[in-house]
Amino acid sequence: MTRLAWGSATDVGRLRPANQDMLFTSDALLAVADGMGGHQGGEVAASVAIESLRRDFVEPTTDALVRAVQLANDAVVDRASDDPDLLGMGTTLCALAIVAVDGADRLAIVNVGDSRVYLLKGEGIEQVTDDHSLVATLERQGRLTRAEAAVHPQRNILTRALGIDARVMVDSWEVLPVVGDRYVLCSDGLFNEVDESRIAATSRKLADPTDLARELVRLANEGGGRDNITVVVVDVLDDDGHGLAGESAGTDVDRVVAAVSGEARAAAISRAAADSVSAPATVSARSERRAARPPRPRNFTWRVLFFVLAVVTVMGIGAIAVNYYGRHTYYVGFDADAVWIYQGRPGGVLWIQPEAIEDTHLTRADVPAATVAEIDKGKIEPTLDDAHRYVTNLYGQSPTPTTSAPAASPTTATVAPVGN
């Protein structure tokens, strides 16, 4: 039974404001995603892809792993269509998993984009995955050397990524698990800064996978750190836990490293056509993808619903505030020549008209001449008690009091709203 030991490290690097790489490690599945897109799009794409892969890889077969990558593509596409800020986001994804083939363990490796899986064996280093990038296509066509591709200014232009289209081709391989073999999954932030011979030499010096992952990240930062850097180191152990680097180099020179399994094989075979430079339908550059991609038609989205709910909420709060302001005060005013206590504001507030609630049994002739003008305007009092006190005071000053103060036995009336 195959067991894996692993170590990982990720770092924002020295120039980028955020880390849009994402990694996942578990006993049977390890993955690296390198997201791209502004407004947090890259982080969202990488995290949606990793979460979807982890959730949907439910059966230990290569086909199930390929299917999980396709579902991860669906998840990124769906998420982007829900939010205009995330339009154009995408991500690479490479993964390694333990699968079963005819009752025997194999390592399944899948890839979309230009994150890489390397095999480190003995003195050597071999790139298992093929990059889905413009420069890799030109290299396969013999138009660029590997050295030229490594420093090409357009090396960040991808020919395949998750989140770009509803369909995605996934490359896959099945590999014999050999005790002592070491795999490195990484984003381009590693291999653009640290050349492969140095990755191999560093690996030979560090037996612990976590130590190696951290050291490779450190070297990438030392080399410039121009991109996010993510490294997952995976060691193949036997079921006793043996097999750390240096303990066994393995003897299997006829290892199986091949694209397999129906759909994946078809994808690999047709890759040359898909990667054709003259048909760049899925070409995407990390810094230019918004311009390179046609806008998606949008109808109803959750964002629109959220906006409508926000507007309704603000309007509701406004209505409550107006209601409070319009009703939670009192004033003493005239209704013709009769003095009444009103609830509300003189003249009303928007749709809220004041309401005459108590007849004071005073008339214009009863109130001191000096107060007629302020009652004409409406003498505002913050509470009903304050209004009662004001009226009591009027009685005290009244030249011809006609009855007792209303505060003792108020006459409460509900009348139609008035407009004064």
Q: Which of 80, 33, 73 is nearest to 296 (CA)?
A: 80
CA distances (Å), 44 to each of 49, 91, 95, in order? Answer: 8, 9, 18
CB of 75 to Mg ion, least distance (A): 20
Q: How far apart are CA 187 and CA 298, in angstroms?
A: 32
Output 17 or 103, the one with its CB closest to Mg ion: 17
Output 2 or 187, the one with its CB closest to Mg ion: 187
CB of 189 to Mg ion, least distance (A): 5
Q: How far apart are CA 328 and CA 172, in angstroms?
A: 72
CB of 150 to Mg ion, least distance (A): 14
Ramachandran class of 224: left when φ > 0, alpha when ψ lies in -120 to 50, beta otherwise? left
CA distances (Å), 326 to each of 72, 331, 332, 353, in order? Answer: 55, 12, 15, 8
Output 224 or 348, the one with its CB closest to Mg ion: 224
Strand order in the sheet with 330-335: 379-381, 330-335, 338-343, 355-363, 411-412
Among the listed ranges 29-37, 50-58, 231-239, 346-354, the one in contact with Mg ion (CB under 5 A) is 29-37
Q: How far apart are CA 365 and CA 354, in angstroms?
A: 24
Output 34 or 355, the one with its CB closest to Mg ion: 34
Output 2 or 221, the one with its CB closest to Mg ion: 221
Among the listed ranges 226-234, 258-266, 345-353, 406-414, the one in contact with Mg ion (CB under 5 A) is 226-234
Output 227 or 355, the one with its CB closest to Mg ion: 227
- Encoding tokens for residue 349? 């507030």
CB of 188 to Mg ion, least distance (A): 4
Output 159 or 187, the one with its CB closest to Mg ion: 187
CB of 12 to Mg ion, least distance (A): 11
Output 227 or 235, the one with its CB closest to Mg ion: 227
Residue where the block lists tokens 């490294």:
231
CA dihedral 68, 73, 78, 84 (to 10 degrees): 150
Q: Which of 108, 127, 111 is nearest to 170 (CA)?
A: 111
**Count of chain residues binding Mg ion (CB under 5 A):** 5
Output 135 or 375, the one with its CB closest to Mg ion: 135
Judged by CB under 5 A, the chain residues 228 through 247 that form the site for Mg ion are: none
CB 216 within 8 A of CB 204: no
CB of 304 to Mg ion, least distance (A): 33
Q: Which of 184, 191, 179, 101 is nearest to 151 (CA)?
A: 191
Judged by CB under 5 A, the chain residues 138 through 197 that form the site for Mg ion are: 187-189
- Applying CB under 5 A, among 130, 193, 227, 235 the residue interacting with Mg ion is 227
CB of 323 to Mg ion, least distance (A): 55
CB count in 10 Å sphere of residue 151: 9
Among the listed ranges 215-223, 224-232, 342-350, 386-394, the one in contact with Mg ion (CB under 5 A) is 224-232
DSSP bridge pairs for 412: 358
Q: Which of 374, 372, 286, 288 is nearest to 331 (CA)?
A: 374
Judged by CB under 5 A, the chain residues 30 through 89 that form the site for Mg ion are: 34
CB of 49 to Mg ion, least distance (A): 14
Q: How far apart are CA 368 and CA 158, in angstroms?
A: 89
CB of 143 to Mg ion, least distance (A): 23
CB of 85 to Mg ion, least distance (A): 21
Output 23 or 178, the one with its CB closest to Mg ion: 23
Binding site for Mg ion (CB under 5 A): 34, 187-189, 227
